[in-house]
Structure 1
Amino acid sequence: MNLLPAPPVNADNRPYRDGASAGRLMLPHCGACGHRFFMPRYQCPRCWSNDLHWTPASGRATIHSYCIVRRAALPAFADRVPYVLALIDLAEGPRMMSQILGENALQAHIGAAVELCFETCADGAQLPQFRLVHHG
């Protein structure tokens, strides 16, 4: 499987990208109103404060919704089809989009428990992804 290109790093997402490089999913947490959110940005989308603190997420989550992609939109994804793209509800509250990885990824369903994993990108950067939790 081809390695994905790394997402760009900028001032807003640097703590998120640095956390991923260290094997942690970091979420912005507003010091003014307590809101945890995702996508990384420079101010809280609830109260507009820029008093942000970055805290690690547990890595526990569930699938809110998903689709099975059968035709790649970009050449970097061509050898992955079919693959599962999902909206993930993190245990801490925020929702994020991720690919579901693993041999059993096509068994994904709404409400399925997933856990954090990392995929190495072409430049060595780590990309937070998820895989289904095996029960039993």
Structure 2
Amino acid sequence: MLLRQQLKIIKRRIKQNKLSYLYLFLENKMAVTMTENAKNRLDLLKKKRQTPSAILRLGVRGGGCSGLSYYMDLVDEPQPKDKIFTFGSHTVAIDRKSYLFINGSEIDFEKTLAKTGFVFNNPLASTSCSCGESFSL
């Protein structure tokens, strides 16, 4: 139910800025980016798991303290309707519904005293929790 409400908000935002978001979605442009830190950490994870050809699958689920939360997984193959992005030797797959929520995001990896992990810099998020793992629109 929550995802359906959030999807309505996204659709409204797409209508307001029809050209940019709809164009990026349909034309499969580089609407999601990945920093060098994130690429390096992904290399390390693939080596650790001995899966050099694994694909990073990203998505959004209902939950978390802000309403929506990100998830990441290393998989062997993308799903048939996934949006596919390539960053050098890395392939990232995002399901179409989740893509609407993370369109324009930058995936980074941060290592600080407080937290070590992947971070999503999402321009569509109106609020996000302090841990950075969930957001709302």
Q: TM-score range by the shorter chain?
A: under 0.3
More helix by share: 2
Query: Normalising by structure 1, what TM-score?
Result: 0.25
Query: Normalising by structure 2, what TM-score?
Result: 0.25
